[in-house]
């Protein structure tokens, strides 16, 4: 029921943020700028064959106001009032500012800042910080609350408790964007006294933790056309700060180093993460070699989540020929897990892709995309039973052809897109339950007169899917096909714009023929510079071939909007 209301009003708060993020102030910015709009609407809705999914006579009033303050601070407000529900939104749940003056930026409030992928990487915190970039010097420091204390209680047993977590991160570097080296350290710790004792269960264990991460990130131009990228970090993560303290004497240099900043305990684990790349980029060709390794259980309190226990290698070449008319790029890589060799099985993946773009003239072009993804398993600490061994290959190919005819006031575009996808199971014991393939064809035509506003578009689509035999039907082929037509026309010096579209989709499966017809018409009239009227009609007829699933829907809406 609320879906229609949200569709009508989405234009007012589509960009409404969870928290306000600000940019650098501009010298010409006004002290305070207020903008917004008001929209009133009324409509009708009828349905047969199914219970009504909307009110028969929806109506309402919606509006928004945005207050722009100095420094690029934006405060959006929105409200909805109608027989489908009422609401009010404001941006003060999480608010923060980051004003910039020359080479200095100050952060205050709720912020999410990134120093490197494996240290401070976009985690939201409530606090403050500063970034200074005088010349080639790169300095940064932040401090704040990374997690709010959340207590559980008997009245709300589903609440997941959390300790209050505070932390800081510092960055020291040298260079300019695209050619720099930064050293980063992050330290964060949970306050074990911030919430009452947490009851433990077999499925939920919440304990106070502590983390110290030291990392390096760099982007260097070694010599002309050759670049080096490196992101690396070592993390000491204590899962429970109440665990027994252990001595760091006789340990590795890394352990002794971390012991100066973090107390080693029985629950402390030191892990590392590295991703590196070296690339060459010339005028006609280029190549990039990439490597990544993230230890099992690698964690940083400066990021929400990333995949661990992986090691991967990849190569990505590219080539430009025929004076830029032919472009080729591709990549091939392998990835493995079970780096600690403690899993029952080791999973390996191969990833290959190729993109070819050929544009001999402005009116004609062809794009080809190929990708091949493979996955397989090898025995880990236990042998793998052949009947459940995972070994699959997924092939995908897309060819997109376009032809453009353009005159002074007429534009015509013809398109043909073909897509083929096939999942091949290399395990004969499971192939009948997983293998499938899909073919999709789309033939399109677009016509537009730039002076009169008249336009037309049409598309014919066909999709055929071969389902696995495990669906339990001897006829595993599913087909979808049908046309889509649309038209636009402008009147009265383009003050009145109209559009209409219709689609007819046929579905064939297991001897059942289904049909779906949709028709829509829209019109908009610009009454004045800031006032407009809108009218929309939509009709849906769904006939799946099953009598109990056949229905019709008709809805319309008339709206008036004003902006300021």
Say yes or no to pLDDT of 117 above 60: yes
Q: Pick the closest to residue 6 from 64, 533, 14 (CA basis).
A: 14
pLDDT given at position 48: 92
Contact 25, 72 (CB under 8 A): yes
Task: Give the other-Cβ count within 10 Å of 366's Cβ.
Answer: 15
Instruction: List, for residues 179-237, the tens digit of each pLDDT value.
Output: 999 999 999 999 988 887 665 554 457 889 999 999 999 999 888 889 999 999 999 99
Apex 203 CA angle, 199 and 207, nearest 5: 50
Instruction: List, for residues 121-143, the tens digit of each pLDDT value.
Output: 999 999 999 999 999 999 999 99
Contact 278, 288 (CB under 8 A): yes
- Percentage of the chain surpassing pLDDT 70? 85
Write out the E strands in 282-409: 285-294, 310-321, 326-336, 345-361, 364-379, 391-406
Domain limits of the chain? 102-308
Higher per-residue pLDDT: 255 or 373 = 373
Contact 20, 75 (CB under 8 A): yes
Say yes or no to pLDDT of 7 above 50: no
Instruction: List, for residues 441-464, the tens digit of each pLDDT value.
Output: 999 999 999 888 899 999 999 999
225 phi-psi bin (left φ>0, alpha ψ -120 to 50, beta other): left
Instruction: List, for residues 420-433, the tens digit of each pLDDT value.
Output: 999 888 777 777 77
- The rounded distance, in Å, linking the Cα atoms of 141 and 104 is 12
Higher per-residue pLDDT: 401 or 62 = 401
- Percentage of the chain surpassing pLDDT 90? 52
* Separation of CA 288 from chain center: 25
Contact 347, 357 (CB under 8 A): no
Q: Pick the closest to residue 555 from 45, 21, 203 (CA basis).
A: 45
- The strand pair at 477-491 and 455-466 is best described as antiparallel
Say yes or no to pLDDT of 43 above 90: yes
Residue given tokens 């009033």 in the structure block: 61
Mean per-residue pLDDT for 87-96? 66
Q: Indicate if the alpha-carbon torsion angle 493, 495, 496, 501 is positive or negative.
A: positive
Extract the tokens encoding 429.
């014991």
Question: Which residues are CB-neighbours of 324 under 8 A, at least 6 positions away?
Answer: none
Burial track 106-133 (b if 16+ CB lie within 10 A, e otherwise): ebbbbbebebbbbbbbebbbbbebebeb
Instruction: List, for residues 485-498, the tens digit of each pLDDT value.
Output: 999 999 988 899 99
pLDDT given at position 87: 67
pLDDT given at position 389: 72
């Amino acid at each position: 029921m609320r879906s229609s209301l949200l569709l009508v009003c989405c234009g007012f708060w589509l960009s409404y943020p969870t928290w306000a993020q600000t940019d650098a102030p501009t010298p010409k910015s006004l002290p305070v700028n207020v903008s917004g709009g008001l929209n009133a609407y009324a409509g009708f809705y009828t349905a047969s064959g199914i219970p009504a999914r909307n009110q028969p006579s929806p109506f309402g009033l919606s509006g928004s106001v945005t207050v722009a303050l100095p420094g690029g601070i934006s405060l959006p407000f929105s409200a909805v009032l109608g027989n489908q529900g009422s609401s009010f939104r404001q941006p003060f749940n999480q608010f923060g500012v980051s004003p910039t003056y020359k080479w200095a930026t100050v952060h205050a409030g709720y912020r999410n800042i990134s120093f490197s992928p494996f240290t401070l990487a976009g985690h939201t915190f409530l606090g403050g910080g500063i970034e200074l970039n005088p010349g080639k010097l790169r300095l940064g420091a932040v401090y704040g609350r990374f997690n709010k204390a959340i207590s559980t209680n008997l009245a709300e047993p589903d609440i997941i408790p959390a300790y209050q977590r505070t932390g800081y991160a510092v960055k020291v570097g040298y260079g300019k964007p695209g050619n720099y080296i930064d050293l980063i350290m992050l330290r964060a710790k949970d306050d074990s006294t911030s919430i009452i004792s947490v009851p433990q269960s077999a499925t939920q264990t919440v304990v106070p933790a502590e983390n110290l991460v030291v990392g390096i990130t760099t982007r260097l131009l070694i010599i002309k056309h050759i670049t080096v990228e490196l992101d690396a970090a070592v993390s000491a993560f204590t899962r429970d700060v109440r665990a027994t303290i252990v001595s760091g004497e006789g340990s590795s240099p890394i352990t002794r180093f971390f012991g100066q900043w973090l107390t080693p305990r029985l629950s402390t684990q030191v892990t590392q993460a590295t991703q590196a790349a070296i690339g060459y980029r010339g005028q006609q060709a280029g190549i990039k070699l990439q490597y990544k390794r993230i230890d099992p259980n690698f964690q940083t309190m400066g990021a929400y989540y990333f995949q661990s226990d992986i090691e991967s290698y990849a190569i990505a070449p590219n080539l430009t020929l025929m004076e830029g008319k032919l472009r080729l790029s591709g990549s091939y890589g392998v990835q493995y897990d079970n780096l600690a060799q403690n899993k029952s099985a080791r999973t390996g993946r191969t990833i290959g892709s190729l993109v070819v773009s050929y544009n001999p003239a402005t009116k004609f072009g062809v794009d080809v995309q190929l990708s091949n993804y493979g996955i397989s398993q090898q025995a880990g600490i236990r042998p793998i039973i052949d009947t459940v061994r995972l070994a699959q290959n997924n092939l995908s190919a897309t060819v997109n052809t376009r032809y453009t005819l353009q005159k002074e006031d007429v534009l015509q575009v013809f398109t043909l897109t073909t897509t083929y996808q096939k999942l091949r199971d290399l395990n004969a014991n499971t192939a009948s339950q997983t293998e499938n393939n899909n073919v999709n064809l789309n033939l399109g035509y677009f016509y537009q007169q730039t002076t009169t506003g008249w336009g037309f578009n049409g598309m014919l689509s066909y999709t055929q899917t071969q389902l696995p035999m495990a669906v339990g039907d001897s006829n595993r082929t599913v087909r979808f096909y049908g046309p889509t037509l649309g038209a636009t026309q402008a009147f009265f010096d383009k003050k009145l714009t109209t559009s209409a579209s219709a689609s007819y989709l046929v579905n064939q499966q297991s001897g059942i023929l289904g049909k779906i017809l949709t028709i829509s018409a829209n019109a908009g009239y610009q009454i004045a510079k800031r006032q407009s009227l809108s009218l929309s009609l939509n009709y849906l007829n769904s006939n799946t071939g099953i009598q109990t699933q056949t229905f019709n829907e008709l809805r319309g809406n008339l709206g008036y909007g004003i902006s300021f």
